[in-house]
Amino acid sequence: GGTSAAATGKRGLWSSRLMFILAATGSAVGLGNIWKFPYITGENGGGAFVLLYLGCIAIIGIPLLMAEILIGRRGGRNPAGSMEVLAQEAGVSSRWKLLGWAGVITGFVLLSFYLVVAGWAVSYIFTAGSGAFNGATSDDIGGLFGGLVSDPVASTAWGTIVLAITATIIIKGVKQGLEKAFSIMMPGLFVILLLLVGYSVSTGYFGQGVEFMFNSDFSKLTGTSVLIALGHAFFSLSLAGGGMMTYGSYLSKDVSLSKTVMTVGVLDTVVALIAGLAIFPIVFANGLEPGAGPGLIFVTLPLAFGQMPFGQIVGVLFFVMLSFAALTSAISLLEPAVSWMTEKRGMSRLKAGVLTSAGIWVLSLGSVFSFNIWQNYTLFGKTFFDTLDYLTSGWIMPLSGLAMAIFTGWIMTRAATHEEVGDGWGYRIWRFLIRYIVPVGILAVFLHAIGALD
């Protein structure tokens, strides 16, 4: 594409293919992998759900990740700008830029509630470090977590810290800010994850963890398991959150997308599986329940940390890892809005970063209050936090995914997508999946969802 070179002229580009892989993997690996994946696996009975999830990643998630990064790279701008460029190239209505907008807005809204949970993670580094878990009973631990989420001031303060760190990194720009942060946090995350698995093996319950995660008992799946698996594949790969499209726009033209995108998808999946293998043996070794829900890592795991040898150190390491994972994802949620404001409104990164963060901060109060002073204000039985989560992951992200599949599979020319993805079998398989399997898969899950609702 001749347009993109000109468009990227003034923008930051990743200094290498590896930097892009770190950035995109940093976006993908987050609370989704370490907090959500283990607990939904626990709730959905283990192995069969894991298989279902792997299927969704392979045939729907990775092709869509390719589509999203492809759009960004070829467009070479912020998500709305890139969609506009590509709609023009394909000779279709410029309304397609709404799809880019959806990404910017989803990132903005998602960050407002993501940072609340990220704030809990950061605060737990200090809770674990203080020795508060040592020998504590389950009532003590439940009280610690309950005390945090029910305190609007403390929750807001921790969320603000997460947002301030994220904004500071963003304001410094792609090379000075993002790349430096990823070069520290991503290796840190991988090293800690491996240490934790090593520890898990030493508990003697590793086999039981493996058994739980891979022994497929399909009778444990419920009707909504498929929905949860697909929704989580979207969330975990950061699909339709604007970040992957924006990161793609900073990627040089020389890189072949097929291998690069596969690497990111595989790394994200491997981290989720390894996180499960680190967590479940510790849960079993302490005679605890894997199906504890969202409290699995904030209540169940701390209970285990309080009972096991070196639990205080392992606890600190665990929450440092979780915080790194959450921060690198938060960066990718803020970057789309900032790139839109700098390119379209001509603002400096400083001004754009401060303004977007201020907006996100205000919105985040609603999510903080969902766990305390507003917990009784619900819409269709959902709190403010749950409503935002449901609207983004349940509707906007899958619908955007469907639109991205149609756009890259049916509207862009074969020549254009072929030029981006690269040659070989990878391209043919991708094109088949994105044209037929991905749209049908998303629609099927939607129909199922609508059926399951009544």
Rounded (10°) angle between helices 17-28 and 257-285: 40
Q: Which is nearer to ligand PHE, 141 or 404 (CB)?
A: 404
Q: Which is nearer to ligand PHE, 132 or 267 (CB)?
A: 267
Burial of 196 (C-beta count, 10 Å sphere; 0-12/13-18/19+): buried
- In whole angstroms, the minimum distance from the beta carbon of 164 to ligand PHE comes to 19
Beta-bridge mates of residue 379: 382
- In whole angstroms, the minimum distance from the beta carbon of 61 to ligand PHE comes to 11
What residues numbered 315-354 form the site for ligand PHE, per CB under 6 A? 329, 332-333
Piece of 26-34, 175-183, 383-391, 403-411 that binds ligand PHE (CB under 6 A)? 26-34
- In whole angstroms, the minimum distance from the beta carbon of 228 to ligand PHE comes to 14
116 to 110, 155, 163, 395: CA distances (angstroms): 10, 7, 9, 21
What helix, strand, coil percent values describe the chain, rounded to 5? Answer: 80, 0, 20
Q: Which is nearer to ligand PHE, 128 or 327 (CB)?
A: 327
What residues numbered 93-152 form the site for ligand PHE, per CB under 6 A? 110
Q: Which is nearer to ligand PHE, 32 or 302 (CB)?
A: 32
Q: Which is nearer to ligand PHE, 275 or 434 (CB)?
A: 275
Cβ contact 73:97 at 8 Å? no
- In whole angstroms, the minimum distance from the beta carbon of 241 to ligand PHE comes to 3
Q: Binding marks (x or -) toward ligand PHE, 210..249, rule CB under 6 A? A: -------------------------xx-x--x-x------
269 binds ligand PHE (CB under 6 A): no
- Count the site residues for ligand PHE by CB under 6 A: 15
Cβ contact 243:332 at 8 Å? yes
Cβ contact 236:169 at 8 Å? no
Piece of 28-36, 151-159, 253-261, 350-358 that binds ligand PHE (CB under 6 A)? 28-36
DSSP 115-144: HHHHHHHHHHHHHHHTTTTTT--HHHHHHH
Q: Apex CA 438: angle with CA 435 and CA 443, to 5°?
A: 115
Q: Which is nearer to ligand PHE, 290 or 401 (CB)?
A: 401
Residue from the set 33, 260, 286, 370 that interacts with ligand PHE by CB under 6 A = 33
Q: At a CB cut-off of 8 Å and minimum separation 6, what does 201 contact?
A: 281
Cβ contact 251:264 at 8 Å? no
Binding site for ligand PHE (CB under 6 A): 27-28, 30-33, 110, 235-236, 238, 241, 243, 329, 332-333
